[in-house]
């Protein structure tokens, strides 16, 4: 199996998608942008450490390619582009800007959603990748009346904001790319936090509304029982429905669809059977905050506002998305493949989990520490010369044979891990390649195993040759994808 080139892995949906894809055995290469505070691999490591806590298992690590979707070649160097050409056979494009409005089309959300998608398509064409999976949004329908079919949208009715318009344009870029073979489109509704934990990485949409309600209510005086009366009239009926979906369900569904060949070329609406109403959101939030008193005033804004209403309507942009009922989306194509994966209903308990997580996270202000990795397996292996690599291959493969296999794959799972291939060449040198390629055996190790092997190698290879790694798990699998950053050193 060749690599899936994946954008958006550092986002709310992307992190969960990455964990599930790795857990399902997919070989993944992620495009990730480094920040001033963390390298690309540190960002991915932080995400996977958190996902491992939720899943209760240790995961493999992807190939990490540092780049930028908004740059030509997605910010990749020539060597990395060559690797993508040889190693990757498909693309999953999940990266997106969630900005609702932009001053002009040179900024967000247009820069990421449109220009970034075009850059990725250019890279796909250059590297010969014709399988494309595109994470769009259900709201590419814009102002079209429902029910909305799972087909291409012409945008004839216009859009509510630049986000919808930019995602619509991005989808059309993919649909019109002549070199792609049956691109597949996933159109989720409004993605919210994890249904199990309430966890989120972003405080847009519903989470921003919950945060505003929390601030408003907690600034009001409480009576002797702790109850707070909220004198707030909202200009809506309360019955407006929103297609909100937990991120863990979206990730599970896309993983299922992506791993099912029969879905190729189709469009899927990922929307709930039972949308939540604004009244339910307010009522569930009020029960968490031990408050009440919010009234639904209908279509008109009260002519005179009290202090609480002034505070609420100061964030009116947060409420505008809730002043209309979402259209109904046709999900027939989705049900064909996910009948056993129903969307969780967002009930009172789940809203309370979102609120509790927001409180614990200080609504996005809690400092997230960099991952503390004692040893990165890639750095350890990169220290070895050709003789050391041959010794490691012999030790991992059993240690006793005079000639180790011509190529072995090493998959280092857990913190600091990754995947590499050690290949014997015709002149008895060794080649270290990041990622998995055609090999005779695949061995799964821990970072501690790698550290032990490298420390044993030292300057005396004989000690390593006599110490086979007996706890390596083995799998006779052939994984067909060359790798980036290969290093060849002549044996001394």
443 within a domain of the structure (yes/no)? yes
Q: What's the pLDDT score for residue 470?
A: 34
209 within 8 A of 270, measured Cβ to Cβ: no
72 within a domain of the structure (yes/no)? yes
Residue 113 has pLDDT above 90, yes or no: yes
Residue 489 has pLDDT above 50, yes or no: no
**Residues 154, 144: Cα–Cα separation, whole Å:** 10
Confidence of residue 1 (pLDDT cuts 50, 70, 90): low
Burial of 140: CB neighbours in 10 Å, binned 0-12, 13-18, 19+:
buried
107 within 8 A of 60, measured Cβ to Cβ: no
Q: What's the pLDDT score for residue 203?
A: 92
415 within 8 A of 383, measured Cβ to Cβ: no
Give residues with Cβ within 8 angstroms of 341, minimum separation 6: 249, 252, 253, 256
Q: What's the pLDDT score for residue 322?
A: 52
Query: Which structure tokens are listed for 392?
Result: 């490691």
Higher pLDDT, residue 300 or 279: 279
Residue numbers of the domain that contains 443: 377-489
Percent of the chain at pLDDT above 70?
89
348 within a domain of the structure (yes/no)? no
Residue 481 has pLDDT above 70, yes or no: no
Residue 68, classed as helix, strand or coil, is coil
10 and 126 share a domain?
yes
328 and 393 share a domain?
no
Confidence of residue 491 (pLDDT cuts 50, 70, 90): very low
Q: What's the pLDDT score for residue 408?
A: 87
169 and 121 share a domain?
yes
Confidence of residue 441 (pLDDT cuts 50, 70, 90): confident
Q: What is the helix (H) or strand (E) element at residue 267, kind and residue range?
A: strand 267-270
335 and 397 share a domain?
no
**Residues 361, 193: Cα–Cα separation, whole Å:** 13
Torsion angle (degrees, nearest 10) of CA 88, 90, 94, 97: 70
389 and 329 share a domain?
no
Residue 402 has pLDDT above 80, yes or no: no
Q: The CATH number of the domain where 483 resides is what?
A: 3.30.1050
Give residues with Cβ within 8 angstroms of 363, minimum separation 6: 203, 207, 211, 214
**DSSP β-bridge partners for residue 184:** 133
Residue 398 has pLDDT above 80, yes or no: no
157 and 82 share a domain?
yes
Range of weakest confidence among 114-118, 181-185, 235-239, 471-475: 471-475
63 within 8 A of 18, measured Cβ to Cβ: no
Give residues with Cβ within 8 angstroms of 241, minimum separation 6: 275, 276, 277, 325, 326
**DSSP β-bridge partners for residue 148:** 329
**Residues 249, 121: Cα–Cα separation, whole Å:** 28
356 within a domain of the structure (yes/no)? no
Mean pLDDT over 164-186 rounds to 98
Residue 386 has pLDDT above 50, yes or no: yes
Angle between helices 386-397 and 447-457 in degrees, nearest 10: 130
Please give the span between the terminal C-alpha atoms of the chain, in angstroms, as a whole number: 35
Q: What's the pLDDT score for residue 404?
A: 61
Higher pLDDT, residue 256 or 325: 256
334 and 456 share a domain?
no
Cα Rg, the chain, nearest whole Å: 26
Q: What's the pLDDT score for residue 459?
A: 37
163 and 253 share a domain?
yes
C-alpha torsion sign, points 383, 385, 386, 389: negative
- Structurally, the chain folds into a number of domains equal to 2
Residue 154 has pLDDT above 80, yes or no: yes
Residue 472 has pLDDT above 60, yes or no: no
Q: Single out the residue of 153, 132, 138 nearest to residue 188, CA to CA.
A: 138
Q: The CATH number of the domain where 93 resides is what?
A: 3.40.50.720
Q: What is the helix (H) or strand (E) element at residue 78, kind and residue range?
A: helix 78-87
Mean pLDDT over 455-479 rounds to 42
Confidence of residue 162 (pLDDT cuts 50, 70, 90): very high
Mean pLDDT over 51-57 rounds to 92
Range of weakest confidence among 17-21, 131-135, 192-196, 367-371: 367-371
Over the stretch 28-48, which tens digit does the pLDDT of each residue have? 999 999 999 999 999 999 999
Q: What is the helix (H) or strand (E) element at residue 291, kind and residue range?
A: strand 291-292
245 and 392 share a domain?
no
53 within a domain of the structure (yes/no)? yes
Confidence of residue 230 (pLDDT cuts 50, 70, 90): very high
75 and 181 share a domain?
yes
Percent of the chain at pLDDT above 90?
65
228 within a domain of the structure (yes/no)? no
421 and 331 share a domain?
no
Over the stretch 313-358, which tens digit does the pLDDT of each residue have? 775 555 465 568 899 999 999 999 999 999 999 999 999 999 999 9
Q: What are the C-alpha distances in Å from 126 to residues 77, 82, 254?
A: 13, 10, 26
Q: Single out the residue of 125, 139, 99, 167 nearest to residue 242, CA to CA.
A: 139
Q: What's the pLDDT score for residue 57?
A: 94
Residue 465 has pLDDT above 50, yes or no: no
Mean residue pLDDT of the chain comes to 88
Q: What's the pLDDT score for residue 323?
A: 65
Residue 428 has pLDDT above 90, yes or no: no
336 and 382 share a domain?
no
């Amino acid at each position: 199996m060749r690599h899936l080139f994946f954008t958006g892995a550092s986002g709310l949906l992307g992190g969960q998608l990455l964990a599930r894809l790795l857990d399902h055995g997919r070989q993944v290469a992620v495009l990730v942008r480094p920040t001033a505070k963390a390298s690309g691999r540190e960002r991915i490591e932080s995400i996977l450490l958190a996902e491992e806590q939720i899943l209760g298992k240790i995961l493999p690590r992807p190939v990490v390619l540092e780049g930028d979707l908004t740059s030509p070649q997605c910010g990749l160097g020539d060597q990395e582009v060559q690797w993508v050409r040889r190693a990757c056979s498909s693309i999953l494009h999940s990266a997106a800007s969630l900005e609702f409005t932009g001053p002009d089309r040179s900024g967000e959300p247009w820069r990421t959603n449109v220009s970034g998608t075009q850059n990725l398509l250019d890279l796909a064409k250059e590297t010969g990748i014709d399988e494309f999976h595109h994470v769009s949004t259900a709201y590419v329908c814009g102002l079209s009346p429902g029910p909305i079919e799972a087909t291409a949208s012409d945008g004839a009715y216009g859009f509510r904001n630049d986000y919808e318009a930019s995602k619509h344009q991005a989808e059309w870029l993919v649909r019109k790319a002549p070199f792609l073979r049956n691109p597949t489109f996933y159109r989720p509704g409004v993605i919210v936090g994890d249904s199990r934990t309430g966890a989120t990485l972003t405080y847009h949409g519903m989470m921003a509304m919950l945060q505003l309600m929390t601030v408003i209510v907690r600034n009001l005086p409480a009576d002797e029982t702790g109850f707070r009366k909220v004198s707030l009239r909202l200009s809506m009926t309360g019955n407006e429905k929103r297609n909100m979906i937990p991120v863990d369900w979206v990730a599970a569904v896309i993983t299922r669809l992506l791993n099912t060949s029969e879905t190729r070329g189709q469009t899927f609406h990922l929307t709930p059977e039972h949308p939540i109403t604004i009244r339910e959101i307010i009522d569930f939030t009020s029960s968490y905050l031990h408050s009440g008193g919010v009234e639904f005033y209908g279509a008109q804004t009260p002519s005179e506002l009290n202090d609480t209403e002034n505070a609420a309507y100061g964030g009116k942009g947060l409420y505008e998305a809730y002043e209309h009922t979402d259209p109904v989306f046709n999900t027939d194509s989705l049900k064909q493949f996910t009948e056993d994966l129903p969307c969780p209903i967002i009930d009172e308990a789940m809203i309370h989990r979102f609120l509790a997580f927001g409180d614990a996270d200080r609504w996005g202000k809690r400092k997230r520490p960099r991952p503390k990795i004692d040893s990165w397996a890639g750095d350890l292996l990169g220290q070895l010369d050709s003789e050391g690599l041959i010794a490691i291959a012999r030790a991992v493969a059993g240690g006793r044979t005079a000639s180790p296999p011509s190529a072995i794959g090493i998959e280092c799972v857990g913190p600091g891990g990754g995947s590499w291939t050690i290949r014997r060449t015709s002149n008895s040198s060794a080649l270290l390649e990041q990622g998995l390629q055609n090999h005779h055996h695949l061995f799964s190790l821990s970072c501690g195993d790698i550290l032990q092997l490298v420390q044993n190698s030292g300057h005396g290879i004989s000690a390593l040759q006599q110490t086979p790694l007996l706890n390596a798990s083995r799998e006779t699998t052939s994984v067909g994808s060359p790798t980036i950053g290969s290093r060849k050193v002549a044996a001394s």
